[in-house]
Amino acid sequence: MQGIAHARRALWLGLAIAGPAAATANITLFYNERPPYLIAAHDGSVSGLTGTPAGRAFATAGIPFMWARTPANRQLAAIKQNKAMDCAVGWFKNPEREQFAQFTKAIYRDKPAVALANKGFQVNQYDTLERVLATSGIRVLLKENYSYGPFIDNSIARYSPHLTHTTAENALMLEMIRKGRADLMFMAEEEADYLLANAGAGGGDFYLLKFSDMPAGEKRYIMCSKQVPEDIIERLNRAITFE
């Protein structure tokens, strides 16, 4: 956990309040750069589809905080350990996480999930997720400790495709798909569009796979350790404008 401790010392920005009071920042707000959701600026601030509304909620509520760039697994571990007032931006809410964390109101809702597939793996566009996961020999790349929402999570458990887990971020996961280490990976359409737009000449190695039965995208939340007082969660909820 040294990376978190270093981030707390070195990467803090009291965006919630201005002036000398910013030095009293006491909530660590974890992020892991993940365009278009979370985009770090040179001044230490964070923007993006979830970064902007999260920072705005703390600022509107007048709650001091510091941004800390932290890998996803370390974020989860810190919140589970419940040793400090830690929060993380843009996580899905599920029953397992609700046992050790608390969540604000939603700050964003994804478009329906899609898959980025290797061009050598061909199935019918707009087929059902069930039929795609039932494809003989299919290999699915998943991020370790991530939830892809109940529909995808439950479908994977039901059809048991061959799974490869990784702690890598999506850009490196895309490279794994390109090299044929797996056939496809799941993500929100917003993120898939961003990755394909920035893939350059290599974008031709992939295609976007949509599913006819995919429900609306999952909501994303600010997830906090139980050390964070309930009144702070309530203040954030009043400041969050997403409906």
Overall pTM surpassing 0.85 (yes/no): no
The whole-number average pLDDT for the span 133-146 is: 94
Instruction: Give 38's DSSP letter.
Output: B
Domains present along the chain, CATH in parentheses: 2-109+219-239 (3.40.190.10), 113-209 (3.40.190.10)
Handedness of CA 36, 71, 93, 176 (dihedral sign): positive
CA 13 to chain centre: 21
Q: 45: helix, coil or strand? A: coil
Convert the pLDDT of each residue in 152-182 to its tens digit: 999 999 999 999 999 998 889 999 999 999 9
Task: Count CA atoms closer than 13 A to 23's CA, side-chain side.
Answer: 2
Contact 99, 184 (CB under 8 A): no
| Range 109-121 average pLDDT | 95
pLDDT above 50 for 24: no
